[in-house]
Structure 1
Amino acid sequence: MAMSSTRSALARALLAPKPWVPRRCAATAATREAQPQRVAAEMVRYALGGAVHRSSPEEAMRILEQGASNLQGGGEGSAEAVGLLMLAMSTLLYRSGRHKDAMEKLKATQQVVPSAAFRVAAWEALMGLHMEAGQEISYSVSPNDSVDLSIKDDSKWFDQDHLKFRVNAIKGLLALLNGETESAVQLFADGYGDFSEGKNQTENAAISYGEYLHCVGDFTMATQVYEKVLEAEHMEDMSGNLLAAGNMVPEEASLGVTCSYGQLLSHSGKFAEAEDFLTRALQKAEEQFGANHPKVGITLTCVARMYKLKAKWEGSSSIMVQEGLYRKALEVLKAPAINSEGTSNQINWRDIISLARGEYAELLLIQSNRKAEGERMKQWAEDAWRNRRLTLAQALEFSEPSKPTVVVDTRIGRVV
């Protein structure tokens, strides 16, 4: 009854003559926004905060759908308001495991919202879901490729540099996944100046730029980029960044930068700090997604890799700790049995599972009574590995700063 009353109140607010903005959000609502956008933004915050408000995904989806229905064909700002609701719907679909439906919703958002900022946000999220699914996409793809030509106006696409930065960052990330490092260099060449400390929803672009620098061994600059994003996160309320969806929402960006920075610290030999940030990342993953979510398994893999590197650099041993972490990570990721035929090419999170099993195999190979098991696991990992930039052996053998290395991107669940 309470939830039904709430839904009705939200629906009535859409048609009310005065803006519906609760007191707790009045300070964050932009006064220049049109009334429909303010109401839509509050509905999005309510729907995506379902855990706090005890609303189910189905209840949250009904609220968003009702709001979008009421706003269709409205006045000034209604198209953008519908766009906010559709982005949120795609996020709910993604979180419910309905990835194809989420992609379709993002494509529909691009079709109906005239604003370049909304369409870039939908495209960024769409590419993020494609990358998470392990689909091969050329970095030359652009937002225009999935927009109806009847409503496309190229002159409006890149009149703002921060939109260029967002688009080029996704293209650069795609180039890295495709093993085209030189193309990534070109795409990231001029963009970072458009990161404006939490404004314009450019934090995901900055994280991707930091990962690029990290991958090619520029640890000094990567450190500066990661720290600037973390500082912006600390200073600003990222939850107000609603022009994002899927695995590019602020919560995912926060987890992503925390985990990537933790990896960089471990690659730099700063293990106490690395452990602190990776522990934070693990806590974020568990709080946001639950203890048995794949993002937890991905983060656990990064924690295990940190302990492996620490043991190597310090000449110590932490075999039991590492093995426990890899076993737990693979369990959470639902890795198939090693003797399962044909599964290495048809599994979710293949990048992370093959990396974790490659690392785990190395632990087994140094134990005389487990070498046979280690060889089988190593072979499975090599067969499953698909990274185009580095071989599995290169990924496992991190040597020193300034050398190419791999970075686990928790947002897309891929080894970059």
Structure 2
Amino acid sequence: MHVNVDELYGQALLVLEQCLALQRDDNSKGTGPTCHVYLYYMKGNFSEAIEKLQKVEDLNISSVGVRVAATEALVGLHLELGQDDIASTVADVCRHLIDTIEIEIGVGGFEVLDARIKAIEGIVKLVRGNIKKAEAFFQGAQEDKCCTGGFTSIACNMVSEEILLAATCALGQLEVRTWGSHHPKVGIVLTCIAFLFRHKAMREHSSSLLIQEGLYRRAIDLLSAPPLDPGGVEAKAHRRDILALARGGYAETLCIQQNRKAEGEKMKSWAESNWRNPRLTLAEALDISEPSSEVPVIDARVSRVL
């Protein structure tokens, strides 16, 4: 059965617009935009997604739990776009918010939110290559005590209107659950699997070219890779490293086949020109034959090669 994805997105946005009309308190006002973000993200409209999340920053202190959730999403979007400095600033602003509430206003019970912010700060440090600081933040997040206050148990005291709001938001998201195995992040997973087969073949001095090629081709298709031609559409900022890695690995499988070497060299050239990781060259990321202190890690959360 043919599914019109654009039509489903339109239906989902309509449902969420109805959801916005039901908003009464600040928590609800924050929930609406964050649900819209999912739709915009799946359509690749990062600017609209970021704009919606930034609106949540204008909410008052009573909605601090929603603001932390929006910060998590904002940081993730900026990291996926390679905007590491902005992601760091967003995390710092959220940290300042929590510290201000606890110290100047004297409101406590933010252990869970504090742990979530530490996790946000940790992934920013990780992406920027500061492993020791990232480890400290992640350990701090694990050690924080859990909180049972209203900020983490909103659903326990839901009135009928809030139940309707939550159900409507859920329906809006379900309208676009048509990706299934076609979700772009499946392409990231397939890239990882292709590298596993590549590593296995190298260790065992065997060949799995057909398997690797099939995985790379499927991954590149799911990641919506632009044409290889010089005049083709430039790769989008998000997932560029993953695409470069997938095409770089695919190029290797082609270059060792004499009749496809020219195709492989063309793909390799594209991959090298689109690689943006400042701490690891594409050649280093692809060279897993020897143990090294610098090894590539594919993080599917932010679609980056770390």
- Give the TM-score normalised by the residue count of structure 1: 0.56
Partner of 2:124: 174
- Number of residues paired by the alignment? 273
Unaligned runs of 5+ in 2: 153-165
1:369 aligns with 2:259: yes
Offset of residue 369 of structure 1: 3.4
Partner of 2:279: 389
1:123 aligns with 2:71: yes
Cα deviation, 1:344-403, whole Å, max 9, x if unaligned, reads: 665552111100111112222322333333333223222211113322222112257784
CA 1:159–1:143 in 2, change beyond 3 Å: closer, same or farther?
Answer: farther
> Within 5 Å, which residues of 2 pair with 1:250-399?
289-341=179-231, 346=236, 348-399=238-289
Cα deviation, 1:8-55, whole Å, max 9, x if unaligned, reads: xxxxxxxxxxxxxxxxxxxxxxxxxxxxxxxxxxxxxxxxxxx9xxx9
3-state SS of 1:112 partner: coil
Q: Which amino acid aligns with 1:179?
A: G
Cα deviation, 1:238-296, whole Å, max 9, x if unaligned, reads: xxxx8xx9xxxxx9xxxxxxxxxxxxxxxxxxxxxxxxxxxxxxxxxxx7624443222
1:83 aligns with 2:35: no
CA 1:396–1:124 in 2, change beyond 3 Å: closer, same or farther?
Answer: same
Q: Which amino acid aligns with 2:137?
A: L
Partner of 2:114: 164
Partner of 2:41: 94
Offset of residue 320 of structure 1: 0.9
Partner of 1:268: none
> Which of the numbers 129, 141, 145 marks the counterpart of 2:93?
145
> Which of the numbers 48, 56, 65 marks the counterpart of 2:17?
65
Segment of structure 1 superposing worse, 99-108 or 316-325: 99-108
Offset of residue 119 of structure 1: 0.7
Aligned-partner Cα distance in 2 for 1:89–1:183:
33
Aligned-partner Cα distance in 2 for 1:138–1:110:
15
Cα deviation, 1:149-187, whole Å, max 9, x if unaligned, reads: 9xx746479852332332232232223333333442443
Segment of structure 1 superposing worse, 124-133 or 92-101: 92-101
Q: Which amino acid aligns with 1:64?
A: L
Offset of residue 298 of structure 1: 1.8
3-state SS of 2:301 partner: coil
Partner of 2:155: none
- Give the TM-score normalised by the residue count of structure 2: 0.73
Aligned-partner Cα distance in 2 for 1:292–1:376:
27
Aligned-partner Cα distance in 2 for 1:378–1:96:
28
Offset of residue 326 of structure 1: 0.8
Partner of 1:112: 59
Aligned-partner Cα distance in 1 for 2:255–2:40:
42
Offset of residue 319 of structure 1: 0.4
Does the aligned pair in 1 maintain the 2:249–2:286 contact within 8 Å?
A: yes
Q: Which amino acid aligns with 2:10?
A: E
Offset of residue 335 of structure 1: 1.7
CA 1:336–1:158 in 2, change beyond 3 Å: closer, same or farther?
Answer: farther
Cα deviation, 1:278-331, whole Å, max 9, x if unaligned, reads: xxxxxxxxx762444322222221221121122122222100110111122112
CA 1:380–1:403 in 2, change beyond 3 Å: closer, same or farther?
Answer: same
Does the aligned pair in 1 maintain the 2:79–2:87 contact within 8 Å?
A: no
CA 1:328–1:87 in 2, change beyond 3 Å: closer, same or farther?
Answer: same
3-state SS of 1:137 partner: helix
Offset of residue 138 of structure 1: 5.2
CA-based RMSD of the aligned residues comes to: 3.7
Aligned-partner Cα distance in 2 for 1:118–1:376:
47
Partner of 1:40: none
Q: Between the two proteins, what is the percent identity of the paired residues? A: 41
CA 1:331–1:141 in 2, change beyond 3 Å: closer, same or farther?
Answer: same
Offset of residue 121 of structure 1: 0.4
3-state SS of 2:279 partner: coil
CA 1:84–1:175 in 2, change beyond 3 Å: closer, same or farther?
Answer: same
Segment of structure 1 superposing worse, 344-353 or 298-307: 344-353
Partner of 2:163: none
